[in-house]
Amino acid sequence: MRRKLRVLVLMHPTLVPPASREGYSERESHAWKTEYDVVTTLRAIGHDVEPLGVQYELTPIRDRVAEGKPDVVFNLLEEFHGVVEFDHHVVSYLELLQTRYTGCNPRGLVLARDKALAKKLCIYHRIRVPAFAVFARGRRVRRPRRLAFPLIVKSVSQEASVGIAQASIVDSDEKLAERVAFVHETIQTDAIAEQFIEGRELYVGLLGNRRLQVLPTWELVFENLPPGSAAIATARAKHDPDYQRKRGISQKPADDLPPQLQARIAQTSRRVCRILELDGYARIDYRLGADGEVYFLEANPNPEIARSEEFAAAAEAAGLPYPKLLQRIVNLGLQRDSR
């Protein structure tokens, strides 16, 4: 029989879910679908679950840990004080409180958050990545000669495809400067421009602390893109259900990959997790080029784990239906040394 646990779930205050989805449209519930799925599923399998909205103060965490004495904190925070780079500070605070938590450790969050640093570390370990350059705020945009068009321009630190659109792919220095300026001014971060790899978008989920389980490779599929559009994970492609239906965007198993390629992707994914010191659960993103080469794009610690997303679907394909997946994540958190 499963032991009943006290679980404190950290999330942004605006994402604390209602008790039921009834009365909410798909668009309205989309923002808090992960929080809803995690809270309701953990309760359904018998745990005592308390959602806690956290945004500007750490005191509520300290108070709830002291008063409620949770067995584990389920961390769903992706930012703190409105800054995505601050998420690792919250996890560090949990370690200072000697409280076990789910997901990635602070060091892994720091290494993976900086896309340029993650790529540099992977290059050092001979993992193939697209050529890239970072354009810092307040500096003139000068493209290195080795960096050939087309390029895709992104935020160097934001996740969830923030700021990514079809206009992110550029083919001239003028367009590069315009898109870099957009990232600097709109997203308020440095920009990274990397070689655009024409091909397939692949995702690989992993579970584990020291021993890593690699989930089946998943793929983002586009069936009805407008002529001239690139098959990339834009913000609309990831977060707009109406746009997904209109353009036939879905996620499915990449079943047609040759066994040797599947094995190479799994091995590379384990290596990336160890290089970046990721634990708990993570997703590694790749582009599979027309030449059959696999290019590491980025690592996502604590990725999206809503029931309907690719991580949960891949876990189910591996024999972990959603309740068992969440219990596995909780168990990995409980195995963490709280000192």
For the stretch 284-334, pLDDT in tens is 999 999 889 999 999 999 999 999 999 999 999 999 999 999 999 999 999
Lowest mean pLDDT among 182-186, 226-230, 256-260, 282-286: 226-230
pLDDT beyond 80 at 91: yes
The model's pLDDT over 222-231, given as tens digits with 9 standing for 90+, comes to: 888 888 788 8
Could you tell me the CATH number of the domain that includes residue 70? Answer: 3.40.50.20
> Are 161 and 217 contained in the same domain?
no
Of 205, 207, 159, 203, nearest to 333 by C-alpha is: 207
Tell me the pLDDT of the chain averaged across its residues: 93
> Are 266 and 292 contained in the same domain?
yes
Final residue of a domain: which of 173, 195, 217? 195
The answer to whether residue 123 sits within a structural domain is no
Could you tell me the CATH number of the domain that includes residue 325? Answer: 3.30.470.20
List CB contacts of 116: < 8 A, sequence separation 6 or more.
132, 134, 156, 192
> Are 191 and 236 contained in the same domain?
no
Could you tell me the CATH number of the domain that includes residue 139? Answer: 3.30.1490
Cis preceding-peptide flag for 150 (omega within 30 of 0)? yes
pLDDT beyond 60 at 37: yes
> Are 171 and 227 contained in the same domain?
no
Split into its structural domains, the chain has a count of: 3
In the prediction, which pLDDT does 232 show? 85
Q: Which two tokens stand for residue 93?
A: 């605070």
Tally the C-alpha atoms within 13 A of residue 131's C-alpha that lie toward its C-beta: 10
If one counts every other C-beta atom within 10 angstroms of the C-beta of residue 124, the result is 9
The answer to whether residue 16 sits within a structural domain is yes
> Are 151 and 54 contained in the same domain?
no
Boundaries of domain holding 184: 131-195
- Angstrom CA distances, 249 to 138, 154, 170, 241, 315, stand at 37, 21, 23, 9, 20
pTM: 0.94
The answer to whether residue 117 sits within a structural domain is no
In the prediction, which pLDDT does 122 show? 98
Mean pLDDT of all residues in 205-224 = 94
The answer to whether residue 120 sits within a structural domain is no
Specify the 3-state DSSP secondary structure of 218: strand
The answer to whether residue 189 sits within a structural domain is yes
The answer to whether residue 318 sits within a structural domain is yes
The answer to whether residue 338 sits within a structural domain is no
- Per the document, the length of the chain is 339
CA distance 222 to 220: 7
pLDDT beyond 90 at 26: no
Q: Indicate the residue type of 66.
A: A
Mean pLDDT of all residues in 83-103 = 95
Specify the 3-state DSSP secondary structure of 212: coil
Q: What is the separation of C-alpha 157 from the centre of its chain, rounded to a whole number of angstroms?
A: 11
